[in-house]
Structure 1
Amino acid sequence: MKKIKSPYHGFRFPAAVISCAVRWYHRFNLSLRDIEELLLERGASVTCESVRNWCDRFGAQFARRAKAERGVPGSTWHLDELMLKLRDEPYVLWRAVDARY
């Protein structure tokens, strides 16, 4: 039986650090330098260029997993309505929510 290598094999940092940096970049819309600073606070001295390379290499894989985890929307939806006044003008706000939330 052939053993499959991890996609993180050969990198200086463990998979947890790399995946955390990629997740922060794509999920929270942080800059590369922000992620570099956050990792430095946690004891990992990484350059923003390394974070960019990780995001280029593992970003698509992260997006596929996030999309698969999201699932398909249900067939039942709830509709919320909110009435409010701003500067004596009435506004109606609508929100549609899937049944699974």
Structure 2
Amino acid sequence: MNSPAVSYKNHRFPPQIIARAVWLYFRFPLSLRMVEEMLLERGIVVSYETIRRWGRKFGTAYARQLRRKKPSRKDIWHLDEVVISIGGRKHWLWRAVDQDGYVLDEIVQARRDTQAAKRLLVRLLKKQGLTPKRIIIDKLRSYSAAKRDVMPAVEQSWLGKSVLRG
């Protein structure tokens, strides 16, 4: 059962501008007024209310297209962990992001060891269905040990600074 194609008929703005505004709103934690300002900086005068209407009308179709992105053997995964506090106790948030910036998986664990890294890699493989071309990690030894057990054929690179922390 195919859903009907997105129609931009009777819209004042071209489809590229509408798509960009909706993508900005849903992809990043921006308010409607922030998206309005970003478009205004590029010379596009559109109200935040119009962007809200576009989001309601076209948002689900765009989300469906984004979810359709199939994993590829050419993908590069960036893996990192950050300490967080939950109820006053220290936990670790492990994240995997692909080369396009999409979060592939997140997992919160009480430990920062090889077993925790293995758990993340196994979850990623189950969820993605394919191994990546390369993984980029920081110098945490747990990643190397887990990768050796779970996906030994995958190429590995190191980063000195984290690319996932915002």
Same fold (TM over 0.5): yes
Corresponding position of 2:57: 57
Pair 1:19-2:39 in alignment: no
Q: Which amino acid in the other structure matches residue 68 of structure 2?
A: A
Q: CA deviation at 1:29?
A: 2.1
Q: CA deviation at 1:9?
A: 1.5
Q: CA deviation at 1:57?
A: 0.1
Higher helix share: 1
**Matches of 1:63 and 1:6, distance apart in 2:** 12
Matches within 5 A, 1:66-77: 66-69=66-69, 71=70
Q: CA deviation at 1:45?
A: 0.4
1:52-82 CA distance string (max 9 Å, x none):
000000000001100111x2699xxxxx8x8
Structure showing greater Rg: 1
Corresponding position of 2:112: 92
Aligned-residue RMSD, C-alpha: 2.9
- Structure 1: runs of 5 or more not aligned: 75-79, 83-90
- Structure 2: runs of 5 or more not aligned: 74-78, 82-110, 126-130, 135-166
**Matches of 1:6 and 1:12, distance apart in 2:** 15
SS at the partner of 2:9? coil
Aligned residues: 83
Is the Cα–Cα contact under 8 Å of residues 39 and 45 in structure 2 kept in the other structure? yes
SS at the partner of 1:92? coil
SS at the partner of 1:45? coil
Q: Which amino acid in the other structure matches residue 57 of structure 1?
A: K
Q: Which amino acid in the other structure matches residue 19 of structure 2?
A: S
SS at the partner of 2:112? strand
Flag the 1:6–1:65 CA change in 2: closer, same or farther, 3 A. Answer: closer
Instruction: Give runs of ≥4 in structure 1 deviating > 4 Å.
Output: none
**Matches of 2:28 and 2:39, distance apart in 1:** 15
1:6-60 CA distance string (max 9 Å, x none):
6111111110000000001111121000000000001110000000000000000
